[in-house]
Amino acid sequence: MAFVEFSPSGGLFQFAVQLGEALAEQGHDVHLYTGPRPELSARHPGFRIHAALPTWHPLDEKPRGPLLRKARRVVRAGQLVLAWLVLLARLRRDRPDAVFFSTWRFALDALGVLALDRLLPRTLLGIVAHEPRVMTDADTTKAKAGPVFDRALPAAWRAMDLCFTLGDEARDRLLAHWEPSGPVVVIPHGDESALRGDAPVPPVSETRPVALFFGLWTAYKGLDVLLEAWPAVRAAVPDAELVVAGAVGGADQAGIEARARVAGGVTTRPGYVPNTEIPTLFGSARVVTIPYLRASQSGVAHLAFTFERPVVATTVGDIPKVVRDGVSGLLAPPGDAPALAQALIALLSDPERSEQLGRAGAAWLAETSSWASVARRFSEGLSQV
């Protein structure tokens, strides 16, 4: 069984590694094809990571100036073409029984899937669709489109013999837009135990009133709404601090940092966060917030529960089935800054309640979303084909 993740780091890569190891525990022979310097290593003899694809790493130094950034985009486009050629050659040589992807961002990805379908007609092709639709960077309310993309992407979906989603809403959305040839199976997300490390995590009740936003800075994540809500939080909890950490995506970094200075009590940490820093980052937070405007699911909520932190989230996608209002966190409508502020105030001002909700989230995660249960559901999906 082969998984493909062109990026050797980040949430999709981490998901693939943890799922691959869990499937290896069940007796499968699992291989992950990815880019250079993967941030996690294989720990099970039945799971191997092949850092064979000539892609890039988020920790690579960013070029300065518009001309250098444009040149980097051209270079990376060439790297992606070469990565697909390498991948097709490796898969043709290794001839796995099944190949699984997680996302297709570009027309080239869809064309590569179609080439693989022709190259290995007897191989099962599948996808773990974290996000059933590819949205544009400039306007994340609009699906990505283009002359080649619009023709190749539906064909790539039709080539899928098996699809997995991380919730019922995502499954419904997938079926509303695409026509895969095989079943669509819902599986849990799984915890983020690979990122917790061995050091003890301080209990929530011993933390300062710190709220953490963690993840890619992009429009659909609701950062603007969070910064709009923050002055009201500071007025109610004067010593509250907001930490905004993560790689900068399609968002306006300068604009966000300017708004953070105006809001007060906000620390920004732009740039990809290495795994070694995640335990300290989450361990110092009293609450984790995901004020998304649109999403199917969020690995950040599972990461928060892995560290026994409660979550303040919005009622989008399948998130309310993970963050249970009043049980493991608090929910607010998307885009509603006053409601978001009230939820943050409620937990930042009550460390005992925050600790209770965080522990409930961790218990739910252990009960319903262990990697053993994810792998079991995954294997059940394989049996349907």
* The pLDDT of residue 28 is above 60: yes
Indicate the range of 245-259, 312-326, 332-346 predicted with least confidence.
245-259
* pLDDT range class, residue 135, cuts 50, 70, 90: low
| 2-190+370-382 and 194-368 share one fold | yes
Residue 307 confidence (pLDDT): 96
Residues with Cβ < 8 Å from 128, sequence gap 6 or more? 15, 16, 19, 100, 101, 102, 164, 165, 166, 187
* Whether 327 contacts 350, CB under 8 Å: no
Q: Among 65-79, 285-299, 364-378, which stretch is predicted with the lowest mean pLDDT? A: 65-79
Helix (H) or strand (E) holding 322: helix 319-322
What CA–CA distances, in Å, run from 34 to 6, 12, 74? Answer: 5, 11, 20
CA distance 168 to 185: 9
Sign of CA dihedral 332, 309, 220, 157: negative
> With bands split at pLDDT 50, 70 and 90, how would you rate the model's confidence at 266?
very high
Give SS3 for 311.
strand
Q: Residue type for 107, please? A: A
- The set of residues, in sequence order, having a beta carbon less than 8 Å from that of 256 and lying 6+ positions away, is 217, 223, 224, 227, 244, 268
**124 in helix, strand or coil?**
strand
pLDDT at 59 over 70: no
Structure-token pair, residue 271: 């740039």
Q: What pLDDT is recorded for position 268?
A: 95
Provide mean pLDDT across the span 104-128: 96
pLDDT value at residue 136: 61
Top-confidence residue, 177 or 70: 177
Stated pTM of the model? 0.89
Q: What is the pLDDT of residues 331-362, one digit of tens each?
A: 999 999 999 999 999 999 999 999 999 999 99
**φ and ψ of 343, to 5 deg:** -65, -40
Residue 236 confidence (pLDDT): 98
Mean pLDDT score of the chain, rounded to an integer? 92
pLDDT of residue 141: 58
Q: Which two tokens stand for residue 335?
A: 């885009």
What is the domain partition of the chain in residue ranges? 2-190+370-382, 194-368
d(CA 27, CA 56): 31
CA 141 to chain centre: 18
Mean pLDDT, range 143-172, rounded to an integer: 91
Q: How much is the average pLDDT of 308-320? A: 95
pLDDT attached to residue 296:
77
The whole-angstrom distance between residue 313's C-alpha and the CA centroid of its chain comes to 15
Calculate the alpha carbon distances from 384 to 44, 161, 199, 218 in Å: 26, 10, 41, 37
Q: According to the model, what pLDDT value does residue 133 have?
A: 80
**Predicted pLDDT of residue 160:** 98
Kindly report which listed range (40-44, 126-130, 192-196) carries the lowest average pLDDT score.
192-196
CATH class (in words) of the domain with range 194-368: alpha beta
pLDDT at 252: 81
The domain 2-190+370-382: what is its CATH number? 3.40.50.2000
Type of residue numbered 308: E
Can you tell me which residue has the tokens 């917790």?
196
Higher pLDDT, 296 or 182: 182
pLDDT higher than 60, residue 137: no
How sure is the predictor about 131, in pLDDT bands with cuts at 50, 70 and 90? Answer: confident
Task: Summarize the chain as % helix, strand, coil (round to 5).
Answer: 45, 15, 40
- Distance, in Å, from the CA atom of 66 to the CA atom of 71, rounded to the nearest integer, reads 9
Instruction: Residue 40: name the closest of 70, 69, 15, 68 by CA.
Output: 15
Q: Quick one: residue 215, left, alpha or beta (phi over 0 = left, psi -120 to 50 = alpha)?
A: left
**At residue 97, does pLDDT exceed 70?**
yes
Cβ of 242: how many Cβ atoms within 10 Å? 26
Q: pLDDT exceeding 70 applies to what percent of the chain?
A: 96
**Averaged pLDDT, 80-90:** 97
Say what angle helices 337-348 and 351-368 make with each other, to 10 degrees: 100
Q: Is the pLDDT of residue 138 over 60?
A: no
